[in-house]
Amino acid sequence: MSKSTLGPSSSGPRHVAIIMDGNNRWAKKRFLPGVAGHKAGVDAVRAVVEVCAQQHVEVLTLFAFSSENWQRPLDEVGALMDLFLWALRNEVKKLNKNNIRLRIIGERSRFHCDLQNAIAEAEKLTANNTGLMLQIAANYGGQWDIVQAAQRLAKEVQAGHLQAEDISCQLLQRCLTTNEQPLPDLCIRTGGERRISNFMLWQFAYAELYFSDLLWPDFKHQAMQEALADFATRQRRFGKTSEQIEAGE
């Protein structure tokens, strides 16, 4: 992974979010256990990180484990946690070497203490890096994110620090786990499904959606470049008309 000296493209997204779907189906097609698909998916993560870093994307958020995924078979959940811990311990040095900052969003308290410690150590090691921010959503749900933001505001009201009528979209947005990052410009989902599955519900209000039929382990450099190229053809209006956008209003 090399650092480019080129400036960011005006048509490129600042923040890309990806729903990495299809690991189990990829493994099933090869008569392999589901965890084999998740392991193969690590190569796809490396590929999209490389492309995003080269294209000067500021933030890449990957939906690794949803708050609903705990309902999966125990052996699969255990294997996913082991893989997460392995990736944190083995990949973080490469991220740090390439000036990539790692951040984990989601409810961490349910994770084993070893995993919580590994998350904290990985974030600390890369905290001062200034390149791409790689944000991993783990034990994350869009509804949970909105609820925890609402709870924070409710406590402020209860304590007398805030009036209920002063709560605004901007204020609630600042209480989300992604408050320090630009809102996602592009949401990619692999695996052929056409839904966002409780991922960043508030943040996707005006995100462009891109769906790929490729299973996640097969979504590599070219596929990511094609997604970014498709984004560059979109006209983002944010409620305005095409004429207003073209006139620079």
Residue 60's beta-bridge partner residues?
A: 16, 134
Q: Can 69 be counted among the known catalytic residues?
A: yes
Catalytic residue among 69, 98, 129, 198: 69
CA 243 from centroid of its chain's CA atoms: 33
Catalytic residue among 21, 23, 139, 185: 21
- How does DSSP assign 110-132, residue by residue? TS-HHHHHHHHHHHHHHTT--S-
Query: What is the number of residues in the chain?
Result: 249
Residue 17's beta-bridge partner residues?
A: 61, 187
> Please, where are the H alpha helices in 55-163?
74-97, 113-126, 142-158
Q: Are 216 and 41 in contact (CB under 8 A)?
A: yes
Q: Can 21 be counted among the known catalytic residues?
A: yes
Residues labelled as active-site residues: 21, 69
